[in-house]
Structures are given as C-alpha cells and as structure tokens.
Structure 1
Amino acid sequence: MTMTAPQIGRDSTQRPVIRQLDEAAINRIAAGEVVERPASAVKELVENSIDAGATRIEVTIADGGKTLIRVVDDGCGIAATDLPLALSRHATSKIDGTDLLNIHSFGFRGEALPSLGAVGRLTITSRAAGDTAETIQVTGGTMGPVKPAALARGTQVDLADLFYATPARLKFLRTDRAETQAVVDVVRRLAMAEPFVTMILRDTTGGDERTLFRADAETGHMFDALGGRLRTVLGRDFADNALALDAERDGFHLTGFAALPTFSKGAAVAQYLNVNGRPVRDRMLLGALRAAYMDVMSRDRHPVACLFVDCDPTLVDVNVHPAKSEVRFRDPACVRGLIVSGIRHALAGAGHRSATTVGHATLAAMVPADAPRVYQMDHTARPQRFTAASMTFQSGFAETHAARIEAPAAPEDEALPLGAARAQLHENYILSQTATGLVIVDAHAAHERLVYEALKDQMAAGRIAGQALLIPEIVTLSPTDADLLLGVADDLALLGLTIEPFGGGAIAVRETPAILGTVDARRLILDVLDALTDGGDTAPLRARIDAVLSRVACHGSVRTGRRMSGPEMNALLRRMEATPLSGQCNHGRPTSVTLSLADIDRLFGRT
C-alpha cells in the first residue's frame, strides 16, 4: 500500500489576493503591540493624563485590571468636538508629524485609545476649560455618538472587559494577583518620574475598595521633590542609603539616586531608569548600571537605583518600539560612560559608609526569637554576696579584657566616623567606640579593600612596584593554564607580578607585588589564574585587570586569626575613613557595622 504524504502549504495553483483590512482589524493588530496586559493599558492612560498636565491622577482596577481600569485626572480635558477624532488611529495632539525626533511628550503615536477601544469596552468622559462635559463609547471597535455627561473637570477613562473582543488574548494573562502587581509596578515607576503629581491606585475587586498605592505631590526644588517621592515609593531604607547623583557630559545630564553597594538585592527588581522623564527598560542603561557597581558588588547581587538621563530630544530616538519602553541614543558610549563615572564618583565620595540596614539586621539577630525579655528591674532586689570564687572570676575577666586592649586611642578619636578601637574580638573583629555608639569592623575585609585601592592607585600611576624573589618559585600547571598566564605576562608585569616559562607546564615567578610583602607565590598564581578564567575572553581588559587586582589584594590583607595592637587597629580605622569605597570589601560585603547607643539601650530594655 502506497502512503501519500499530506500536502503542506498553500495551493500553488491559487493566487493570493491582497486585501485592505478594515479599521477594526487594524486596531486589534495594533493593540497586540501596544497593550500586552492590563498594566500596559494603565501605562498608556496615565501617560496621557500626565501629557494633559494633570496634577492628580486616580487609577482604579478590578480583577487585576481584566474587568475594570478607570483613570481619572484633572488635566486640560478633551473638547467635545475632538472626542471622535481622539479615537481615530494615529490622531494625536502631541506632535504635528513634521519632526519625529523632537518629542517632548510621553505619547505621540496616536495608537493607545483606538487600540483599547478595539479590544475592550472603552468610555471616555471629558470636560475642557470653558466647555461642557461630553462622553463617548467604543465597544469592540464600534464607536457610539457623543453624548452630554457630568464631570467637573479633566478626563475620566473607563476600560471594561479588556480583551473581550479578542478572547484568545485572555488565555495569556496571568493570575489576578500577578496582573495587579504589574499594575502597581507601572504606577510606581510613573510616580517616581513625576514627583509633582499625586498618584493614587485603588482596587475594587469584590466590591471592597482598598488603596494599593498612594503618593501625594511633592513640593520644593526638583531634587528635593524627587528625594521625597523616592522615600515614599522605595521606602525609608532606600532614602537613608542612597547617594545623590548629578553629572553632565556632552549634552547629557544624569540625576537621581543610587544606593550603597551593601544595600543591594538578590534580583534586579529595584532598578528604575528614565530618559527625559520617560520610564524605560533599556539593556544598555541596565548594563551601564551593572558596570558601575562591578568593582564593589558580587555577581549574585544587584544594585538599587533610580536614574534620570535628560538630554535634547534630538539626541535620543524614543520611536523604537510601540510601547515606547526602549530608546536608542545617538551616542550610547557617552551615556554609558556618564552613568558609570557618575555612580562611581558618588560611591567613592561615600568612603567608609555601609548600609544602615546592616546594623538593623545585626540588632535583629541579637534579639531572642522565642524567649520573652526579662529585665533586671523585674527581679526582687537581693543583697549582693561576694565570694572568693566570684572575685577570682571578675579579676580574671578584667585581666583578659585588659590584654585585648593595647595603647588606648586618644579620646578625640571617638568623634571620628569610625571612632577609637577598644578591643579585638576573635582575632578578626575590631570593636570601636564612637561618640554615639559603637562600630564593629571586619579587619580582614577592610584591609583587603584598602590594599585593593592602593594597588589600583599604583596601577593608575603606571605600574605596580614589584619585589624580586631571592629564589624564583616554580609553579607547575597544566599546559593550557600555563599558556593562558604566559599569554598575558606583559600585563601581569605591570601588576608587579613577573613570570617566565620554565618548560613543560611550569612557570617561574620572579617578582611579586611589593605592597604584599612575603606571600605564597603558588597560591597567588592560582588565584590570578582563577580570575582570568572567570572573566573569560569576552570580558573587557579593565574588568579582567580589576579582577586580578582583587585576588592579589586578598594576599596582602590582614589575615583572620592575627592579633592586632591598639595602634594597628586605629591606623586601620583612619585609613578606612580616608579611602574611597572602604564601606564594602572587594566582594560587596560590608566591612563595618554601626550600632547606635540608642538602639543598644533598647536591646537591653533601658528605654
């Protein structure tokens, strides 16, 4: 029996017919690009309100925005005669079409309203100044007549049953909770970009109204207003641990706030980017933000920042994607360099600062999780009895404590940011007293950063000084690893590490960086090899060199388990105060924890 393969594809004997799609089909196709989910509709409508000059915008949703999205603003409104035109495709008041590169508004494509009307039940009620309120409805692309309505001012847009006209799209939506969270994220991002506008988001699912987000309009200077808005949106912890940014380069202006490296996240969920006030998700900008923290944060952590890049509209193309979430700069290298240098300059100015949340977490760890607090005043007073045993214990404690402290620091050191060293705990942690509390310093992590910064300074000056070994150390490696190291021998020589081939897979180490003193050359070579392998061939040369320097610095730092004298501990604290980026080690971990005396008093129930 002969099997005939099924015929696949169009019948070649039939000629395809070119047809003009009707307006409803065109709008539904456009809606697939502009409106991916309820959050996309909220974004388009709120942006329209902002373009209308609104100072108060209220958003109401139900069932994640699937059954209801309502946006009410106090903007300029739409004239009754313009309502039908506003629902026509590519009709807009934002541009006249003569210059698509000089755009000063959020919207300009004229696609949002007709697209929403094509896939849902859309009602627009508006009242322009000096005019009466009118309303118009569009259901599945079918437009109704303009009718009188009641509205004090501005515009109210109601979008019901999103995607009812394209039910297949409903299957791609996520749960109501997930869609609601996406709407919240959109409103939060727009609220950060517009600190002088009050934004309120409510949920009326099930008939019960609850406020999901509220940010009242800020006042004052733009920078102060932005700081206040970010405190509302991102929380007090971010505001307390954020560094202000203000830098310019070749027509581009960078402002905003970037958090300390020790105030980071386990995922890239708190990175907010804006270009000319427009929230965007741009890979180049995200990459620049990541690069700015490369030297102070481990790879599994992500920075927290809210950045604003402003420039002449002709220097950036926002007409890259229908959703307008991507941009294309005329000079992307300049923008990237501005972000990297601007953030690094701010981080360097932060010096020894570490996130306040580190101290809060430390205090939280000290509080018993399941035991009730019992305070001294709750006990019945009993006469104190001193025995020979207790006196011996107290005497021994005093001797042990005294042995930990050598050459107490000057009293005026307590007024310095990191205070005066009082003790060394577990041969690694320095306990320092300040005028308002105490500081715990990880000596190894702090010194590692200090050595790293010193190495970078020497490298910037031309070359890191090397120290010749009396007898070269021979390190045996695999032929592949040896070739990798010898291939960058000239670069390593600039780092004070001189190597030569020694036959087979072995190499001879003739010089090591002088700043490290006596080191284990073999361990140093293996660490350098790990850094080069981890970076890969695609990593930039500067990043690979920094990675090598970071590994090298570890070999020259104070080792855990070494007893430090009082002067050594205080010298380390003073160097930390004078060294940029000393608030975190080379891997992004905090080098110090600050505890206020008030917090410590509360820990012991003294307040």
Structure 2
Amino acid sequence: MQIRPLPDTLINQIAAGEVVERPASVVKELVENALDAGAGRVDIDLEEGGTRLIRIRDDGRGIARDELALAVSRHATSKIASLEDLEGVGTLGFRGEALPSIASVSRFRITSRREEDEHAHAIEVDGGRVAPPVPRPHPRGTTVEVRDLFYNVPARRKFLRAERTEFGHIEEWLRQLALARPQVELRVTHNGKPSRRWKGEADLLSDVRLHETLGPEFARHAMRVDHEGAGLRLHGWIARPAYNRASADQQYLYCNSRAIRDRSVAHAVKLAYSDVMYHGRQPAYVLFLELDPRRVDVNVHPAKHEVRFRDSRLVHDFVYRTLQSALAETRAGADGQAGQAGGPHVAHPAAAPGWQPQSQSHLSLREIAEARGSYAALYAGGGEAAMADGSGQVSQEHAWQEATVPAMPMHGGDAVAAEAGIPPLGYAIAQLHGIYILAESREGLVVVDMHAAHERIGYERLKAAHDSEGLRSQPLLVPATIAVSAREAEVAEREAATLAELGFEVTRAGPQSVALRAVPALLAQGDVEALLRDVLADLLEHGASRRVAGARDELLSTMACHGAVRANRRLTIPEMNALLRDMEATERSGQCNHGRPTWTRFGLAEIDRWFLRGR
C-alpha cells in the first residue's frame, strides 16, 4: 500500500482510543480542564451512565471566542509553550489532545464566556466537523456537552458496560478528585436526579472531606502523616493496621495533586505494613507526594495514570521509612495523630484530674523485686509463676503496678492520694480463662490477648538486639556458582556493596553467573540461593530489597511466638501490669507478629448500653 497521510478525523479517533476509554475518561479530562481554568465549582450532569449525555459546567476563567476552534484542534493548549514548560508541568492537562479526541467520537458542544466578554459563544463538533462560533447566553465559565458517546464508532460502544457500572467508574474517579481538591465544590446529577455533592471550602487534610469520601470508619482509624526531607514531602492519612481491606479499593496516591498509580511507591507502602498486616489483607491510605515537577515525568502514559521519577529509589526509600516510622508509633493504647514535619509521634490521652486507684494498697520493695523477677522469667522460659492465694490478697485486689502510683504523703495523719496519671491501658484487675487480661482504664474496660501481646514484645526486642549487632556473614566452605540472567549478573556486580550490607559476598563469575562466597549467618540453613535470586530481582525492579530483612524477621517472629507466654498460664496482678506497661512502650504492639489485634477497649458508655442504663 502507498504511504499517505491520515485524515484529521481518523487521527483524532485513533487518539481517542488512547485517551477515551469509557465515559469516566471523558469526565476526567473535562473536569481536569475546569480545574486548570481555576474553577471553584463544577457541576456534572449525566444520563445513562454518561453514554447518552455528559455535561460539565464550571465557573472558571472561560475561553475567548477566537480560541474556541483552537480548543478542539489537536495539540493546541494554553498550558505549555516550550520544552522547559513540559519538563516542569504543574497543570493536570497539557497535551491538547482531550477535546479533539472526545469531539471526534461524539456530538460535541462547548460554550464559554470570560469575565470581560458581553456574552458567551458556542461551537459544535459533529463527527469531527467544526461549526463556526455563535452567540449564546451563559454566565462566566465554560460548559461542555458530550452526547451519544461512540455513536460513530459502534465497535467501541459495544465494549461499554451496563449503565450502573459506568456510573460507578465516574463516581470512583470523582471520589479520587474530591480527596485531592477539597476546596472545589462538586455536584453530580444522574438521569435528572441529584446523586452526590462534595462541599467546597475545606482544607486538604480536612476530616470533613475524609468523612465525605471514605466514610466515618476510615476516618476513625486514620493517622495523619506529614514528613519531608531530601526535597520530598509525604503527607496525608494512613489507616491503622486494625482497619484493613480485602482489596486495594481504598488506596489513593497523588503526586503533585495528580492521582497516579506507581508500582514502586505501592511496593514501599506494602513493605511498611508487612510487619503489622494480616496475610492477604490490604492497607488503606490517602497519600500526597510532593516534589519538584522537574524530578518527575508525567508524560509517560496517554491517560497520565502513571509517572516516572528521576530517582525512584530515593522516592521508594523515603515513602517506606516515613510510613514505617509512623506505624512504629501504633503502640497499644496510643491515641492521636501520627506524623508531623519533624517525624511521627503519638499523643497519649491526659490523665483524668483527681483520679485515684480504687485501693490505696501499695507493693513493698520485696514484692516489687519479686514481680520484676517473675515477669523476666517469661522471656527466659522460666517456670510457672505462683498464683496469689489467701495469703496474697494484696496482689489479687487492686495491687497496682508500683511505677504508676506515687506514694501518698501524710497530712495530719490522713493519707491523701496524689493525682495519678493513668496509663493508656489502665491497671489489671483479673485474668479471664487464662487467655485474656482484663484491665480498668480511664475510658472503661480493656481486654488484652496476653499471648499475642507478649509475642509482639518479644519479637520487637529480638529485632532490636539483632539490629544492634548487624547482619553477620557466614563464609561458605565451597563457593556456590549460581546461574542468573545477564541483567541480574550486572546488578550483582554493580550492587556488590549493597549485597555485602545484607550479608552476601557475591562476585561475578561470568556473563550469566555469579559466585556466592558468604551468606547471612542467621539464614544459612535456608535456601540462600533462592533468597539471593529474589534480592537481585528486587534490586532490578525497585533499586532496593528487604528480602533478607523479611526472611530474618520471619525467623525472629517464629522464635518470639515459641517464647511467648501460653494460654492457661496464670499470671499475678503485678505480672499483668508489667505486661501492660511493656505494651505501651513497645512499637507496633497494637498487633501481634501475624497482624492480629492484641487488645480492644470497651467504653463505659458502650457497657452502659449493654444494660440499658439511663433509659
């Protein structure tokens, strides 16, 4: 066949195949244009899931009469003018493909008026044919109507789903937008009936917008994160591990206010949650990553869903370490927000003024030493702690842990209790079926799974001890030659220092082979060749790997599980209180090593409802 130029209409329809996937794609492109024009309110009217009608009206700056025809021509835009502008794009749209592509597969009309114009003008496009502009009444701003989407491309129309499905895709994208642009009011109608409204004038990290978009349950479990360094800033919300999902339906990531999908960042989030999330469950988060626009390329995907970072390894490590630090502060009983610019923190609730323990009994110095010794035996695998009997009523009846209740000064012969700060998990009062610890807190009743809690405490101590010593290497008597791909051999040679930090001594033995001379000592009995292959694969894809640390943590977790106190182990009151205090001081103690919760709280108001008190 002869080489010949394609007709403009066909070019636009081919471009539409990349940009316009379904009605939600049209809504996305048109609403992004409205935001780039400075709109404070956007109305979205839909019929039949957007297939029959999509009307987007905004109160933005508008378009001049003479520029309306340019707006529907290919690669015409007001947002960039040079390569320098393209390398530092700050707007949502910039390529000038959306409007001509949409107009080529629909019956299209655009009406617009600027503040200084006497009246608006409109142009219509039908199957790629552009009519001249005509006057129209219209307030300041722009209205775009898209009717009968894909009417002239029946093969594409057949791939559209049911009306409810297509409308659901539109709602999901608008939810993404609402999280990133809370200052913009969004109103949605479907088939003539009001559907959704997101109110404007809210802050970016407003709890109001969080409730509007993801619901009160996510908001109740959300922790605020805000950290910056190395020219990067990460802020937003992450859900506590106790709130997790079966799918990734509540994972929202934005780069410079643009909703994106990025495998490297998703991998970093998954790693940060790996130590506290139950297997197969998904974390929930709304995260905003900000960096210099010149350090990220937003022009690598036709629909701009994906971006490319200039230093993806730095971004991966920054996200991972920020979230890992925030999640480390999910101590049992800790309330408040995680994350400020200086680093994550958790605020503990203040003690109730004038609160006192129910009993004014105190442990003697001898009893304090015995309690510490018996609790230490839990870690050393010692024998069973003796149950308090009739001779030990002090420890059975409100024998509060000594460090938390100050001694009471004597005034005029009367004992006056000083105001005591109440720990978040309160004070132990009993043990239930040898499995759960019951504690009285300021809010009500706390129930602790003692095995799960003790397992996390032991695990974190083992990790801390091992981290202080570093990863030791164990040389192999005979070096092992491992066949790898050429790319893996290259990364093994290039990242030899990184591999050494992980405990591996690896040298290149040939174009597609490496020689393994030393392995991590703690993991020497496992399949270290398979582990090395996984590490090399991670270094290729993400520029970093936590395979060794993950394998080590899995082994330490098993050790901690076997060393934790078992069910039906009878604990004294001092032992229970010591466990509660350790939970409050241990990172990630809200979950055991397998992601199960270690404790729960029942407020007095909830308990009152059980018994219909006050009704």
Q: Normalising to structure 2: TM-score of the pair?
A: 0.75
Q: Which runs of 5+ in 2 are unaligned?
A: 337-388, 406-419, 473-504, 506-515, 538-545
The equivalent residue for 1:556 is 563
Q: Residues 596 and 218 of structure 1: is their aligned pair in 2 closer, same or farther, counting only changes over 3 Å?
A: farther
Deviations 1:113-165 (A, max 9, x none): 00110001111111111112111111111111211111111111111111111
**Residues in 1 aligned to 2:534 and 2:562: alpha-carbon distance in whole angstroms:** 22
Deviation at 1:599?
1.2
The 3-state SS of whatever aligns with 2:13 is helix
**Residues in 2 aligned to 1:63 and 1:553: alpha-carbon distance in whole angstroms:** 57
Letter in 2 for 1:216: K
1:278 aligns with 2:278: no
Deviation at 1:98?
2.8
The equivalent residue for 2:224 is 244
The equivalent residue for 1:197 is 184
The 3-state SS of whatever aligns with 1:431 is strand
Deviations 1:388-444 (A, max 9, x none): xxxxxxxxxx99xx9994663269588211011111112111111111211111111
The equivalent residue for 2:159 is 172
The equivalent residue for 2:92 is 106
Whether the 8 Å CA contact 2:121–2:134 is kept in 1: the answer is: yes
Letter in 2 for 1:34: V
**Residues in 1 aligned to 2:311 and 2:606: alpha-carbon distance in whole angstroms:** 49
**Residues in 2 aligned to 1:307 and 1:128: alpha-carbon distance in whole angstroms:** 35
- Give 1:170-569 correspondences, 5 Å limit: 170-204=157-191, 208-211=192-195, 213-219=196-202, 222-223=204-205, 225=206, 227-353=207-333, 405=396, 408-409=399-400, 415-462=422-469, 493-494=521-522, 540-569=547-576
1:146 aligns with 2:133: yes
Q: Residues 406 and 461 of structure 1: is their aligned pair in 2 closer, same or farther, counting only changes over 3 Å?
A: farther
Letter in 2 for 1:409: W
The equivalent residue for 2:105 is 119
Deviation at 1:536?
6.6
Whether the 8 Å CA contact 1:127–1:155 is kept in 2: the answer is: yes
The 3-state SS of whatever aligns with 1:199 is strand
Q: Residues 54 and 583 of structure 1: is their aligned pair in 2 closer, same or farther, counting only changes over 3 Å?
A: same
**Residues in 2 aligned to 1:442 and 1:355: alpha-carbon distance in whole angstroms:** 19
The 3-state SS of whatever aligns with 1:136 is strand
Deviation at 1:284?
1.6
Letter in 2 for 1:579: T
Deviations 1:56-108 (A, max 9, x none): 11112121111111111111111111111000010111111332211010000
The equivalent residue for 1:163 is 150
Q: Residues 451 and 459 of structure 1: is their aligned pair in 2 closer, same or farther, counting only changes over 3 Å?
A: same
**Residues in 1 aligned to 2:158 and 2:142: alpha-carbon distance in whole angstroms:** 31
Whether the 8 Å CA contact 1:414–1:433 is kept in 2: the answer is: no
Letter in 2 for 1:448: E
**Residues in 2 aligned to 1:305 and 1:415: alpha-carbon distance in whole angstroms:** 32
Whether the 8 Å CA contact 1:268–1:303 is kept in 2: the answer is: yes
The equivalent residue for 1:31 is 16
Deviations 1:278-297 (A, max 9, x none): 00112222111111111111
* Superposition CA RMSD, Å: 2.9
The equivalent residue for 1:517 is none
- Give 1:60-71 correspondences, 5 Å limit: 60-71=45-56
Q: Normalising to structure 1: TM-score of the pair?
A: 0.76
Deviation at 1:574?
0.4
The equivalent residue for 1:505 is none
**Residues in 2 aligned to 1:600 and 1:147: alpha-carbon distance in whole angstroms:** 69
Deviations 1:453-479 (A, max 9, x none): 1011111110699xxxxxxxxxxxxxx
The equivalent residue for 2:601 is 594
Q: Which runs of 5+ in 1 are unaligned?
A: 1-15, 357-397, 466-486, 500-527
1:577 aligned to 561, 577, 584, which one?
Answer: 584
The equivalent residue for 1:50 is 35
The 3-state SS of whatever aligns with 2:332 is coil
Letter in 2 for 1:119: V
**Residues in 2 aligned to 1:598 and 1:89: alpha-carbon distance in whole angstroms:** 63
Deviation at 1:214?
1.9
Whether the 8 Å CA contact 2:184–2:200 is kept in 1: the answer is: yes
The equivalent residue for 1:385 is none
**Residues in 2 aligned to 1:160 and 1:342: alpha-carbon distance in whole angstroms:** 46
**Residues in 2 aligned to 1:354 and 1:593: alpha-carbon distance in whole angstroms:** 12
Letter in 2 for 1:314: R
**Residues in 2 aligned to 1:541 and 1:492: alpha-carbon distance in whole angstroms:** 8
Whether the 8 Å CA contact 1:459–1:494 is kept in 2: the answer is: no
Whether the 8 Å CA contact 2:428–2:438 is kept in 1: the answer is: yes
Deviation at 1:249?
2.7
Q: Residues 133 and 463 of structure 1: is their aligned pair in 2 closer, same or farther, counting only changes over 3 Å?
A: closer
The equivalent residue for 1:22 is 7
Deviation at 1:491?
6.4
**Residues in 1 aligned to 2:12 and 2:315: alpha-carbon distance in whole angstroms:** 36
**Residues in 2 aligned to 1:138 and 1:343: alpha-carbon distance in whole angstroms:** 49
**Residues in 1 aligned to 2:471 and 2:115: alpha-carbon distance in whole angstroms:** 71
**Residues in 2 aligned to 1:446 and 1:489: alpha-carbon distance in whole angstroms:** 40
Whether the 8 Å CA contact 1:241–1:355 is kept in 2: the answer is: no
**Residues in 2 aligned to 1:175 and 1:595: alpha-carbon distance in whole angstroms:** 45
Deviation at 1:603?
2.2
Whether the 8 Å CA contact 2:45–2:190 is kept in 1: the answer is: yes
**Residues in 1 aligned to 2:202 and 2:5: alpha-carbon distance in whole angstroms:** 52
The 3-state SS of whatever aligns with 1:333 is helix
Deviations 1:36-58 (A, max 9, x none): 01111111111111101111111
**Residues in 2 aligned to 1:167 and 1:56: alpha-carbon distance in whole angstroms:** 34
The 3-state SS of whatever aligns with 1:155 is strand
**Residues in 1 aligned to 2:155 and 2:548: alpha-carbon distance in whole angstroms:** 50
The 3-state SS of whatever aligns with 1:350 is coil
Number of residue pairs the alignment of both structures matches: 491
Deviation at 1:219?
3.9
Deviations 1:172-217 (A, max 9, x none): 112111111110010010111111111122211xxx5131x22111
The equivalent residue for 1:516 is none
Q: Residues 550 and 91 of structure 1: is their aligned pair in 2 closer, same or farther, counting only changes over 3 Å?
A: same
Deviations 1:524-562 (A, max 9, x none): xxxx899x99x9776721221122222221111111221
Deviation at 1:350?
2.8
The 3-state SS of whatever aligns with 1:235 is helix
Deviations 1:296-350 (A, max 9, x none): 1123100000111111110000000110010000000111111111111111223
**Residues in 2 aligned to 1:457 and 1:254: alpha-carbon distance in whole angstroms:** 27
**Residues in 2 aligned to 1:219 and 1:195: alpha-carbon distance in whole angstroms:** 5
The 3-state SS of whatever aligns with 1:184 is helix
Whether the 8 Å CA contact 2:333–2:424 is kept in 1: the answer is: no
**Residues in 2 aligned to 1:31 and 1:133: alpha-carbon distance in whole angstroms:** 28
